[in-house]
Homo-oligomer: A and B are copies of this chain.
Amino acid sequence: MTQEIKNYMQTLGKQARAAATTLSAAESRQKNDALHKIAKSILEQREHLKSENEKDLQAARDKGLEDAMVDRLALKDNTIDAMAEGLRQIAALPDPVGEISDLKYVPSGIQVGRMRVPLGVIGIIYESRPNVTIDAAALCLKSGNATLLRGGSEAIHSNRALAACIQAGLLDARLPAECVQVIETTDRAAVGELLRLKDFVDVIIPRGGKGLIERVSEESLIPVIKHLDGICHVYIDDDADANKALKITFNSKSQRYGTCNTLETLLVADSRANELLPLIKAMFDKEGVELRGCDRTREIIQCKAATEEDWKTEYLAPILSIRIVDDMEAAIRHINRYSSQHTESIITQDISKTRRFMREVDSSSVMVNASTRFADGFEYGLGAEIGISTDKLHARGPVGLEGLTSLKFVVFGDGHIRS
């Protein structure tokens, strides 16, 4: 069985590499045409998609999965419409591939510039939601990359049916069907094989829970674009405007609890704690958010005690830890020690402080007077995102089309030689 899976994955890898060569040279028009035709195919296959999805839903209910999990699996009419709309939006984005920048003459007489090119073959490993199949395929296709998609086994019927729509659209636009391949087996060994396919796959993007991402980054022989945690901070500075501070703190924590850009630890300058903490407590009490404070915080407001563990925890829940700090330096030290380098925001009116905070906080998104919830590819104007990176090489923060490409050097001479 293992040898069989190995051979299967090798075959997919070789096919993806061959398709990537064709796709990397495809014109924008052809890629956009494919995206529109995939959208058309999804809408035409609506009933078939729903009936295949029903098989997954039934299996999930039979297995006794929680309602929330079953709900995330569902392909409803509005999910299907949203997928088609997403495809059209990605078709409308500018094509990053082939753009030449910084082209200039250097002293030898040659012209040197950089051309944006696809990465090649991208492996995406994700859980449950079948609409990721379409989102990921569309972004990779637009950026000229072939894709190997490995969704959760609980969505296998839905993913196969979506893959058929994608391949129909590709063929209709005269692109190789192998530009997007869904791994058809639910055997877990296929993931292990995918992570070893370094001759055929250029980057792996895992999307899902921390367990999945940890497993992928430990096992992979291929570079991984990922974020593990979103332990985001807001720091309310001595010179914060009180209204902005309250509004941004509330929005960063309570606009949604389960997202990676949600606030988890609030840092408050000592000079503002007496004034602001009671207001913060009142605001979150009304919302049912549990507060956990440091010793100094608990001298001002009543709440549970925060432990060392709290500073390291991504709650993804209506819980907020609070720490009083002496000044901005102490806030930056706390952040650079405990944050997951995802997103941090300072609330201040003092322009000198923002200058330092922006430079010294080593996170993928650093903000002034704005909610951490803005850390998102759509909000940043990237058009879409395939994920968020908290790594330092290649892409940091939300990864859009540009993050799925890299720059090669191009040189134009006219018989020039080096002397």
Q: How far is the CA of A40 from the CA of B250 in the complex (A)?
A: 55
Q: Which residues in B have their C-beta under 8 angstroms from that of A380? A: 106, 112, 409, 411
The one of B244, B354, B374 in contact with A415, judged by C-beta atoms closer than 8 angstroms, is B244
Question: A408 and B397: CB pair below 8 A?
Answer: yes
Interface string of A232-247 (1 = CB under 8 A from B): 0000000001011001
Interface centre among A112, A363, A369 (most CB of B within 10 A): A112
- Measured between beta carbons, the chain B residues less than 8 angstroms from A248 are 413, 415-417
Q: How far is the CB of A54 from chain B (nearest CB, A)?
A: 35
Complex: how many Å from CA A216 to CA B407? 24
Copies of this chain, tallied across the complex:
2
A21-B362, A112-B381, A362-B408 given; 19 more Cβ-contact pairs under 8 Å: A24-B359, A108-B379, A110-B374, A110-B379, A223-B393, A248-B413, A250-B417, A354-B412, A366-B410, A368-B411, A369-B415, A370-B413, A370-B415, A370-B416, A371-B417, A373-B417, A374-B418, A380-B411, A394-B394
Is the beta-carbon distance between B396 and A409 smaller than 8 angstroms? yes
Main DSSP-derived SS at the A contact region: mixed
Q: How far is the CA of A255 from the CA of B417 in the complex (A)?
A: 9
Alpha-carbon separation in the docked complex, A345 to B416 (Å)? 11
Question: A248-B417, A369-B412, A409-B380 known; A24 and B360 CB under 8 Å?
Answer: yes
Flag A103-140 by CB within 8 Å of B: 1 or 0 each. Answer: 01011101010010101100000000000000000000
A53 at the B interface (CB under 8 A): no
A408 touches B365 (CB 8 A): yes
Task: Report whether B408 and A366 are in contact in the complex, using a CB–CB cutoff of 8 Å.
Answer: yes
**Which chain B residue has the least Cβ–Cβ distance from A412?**
B368
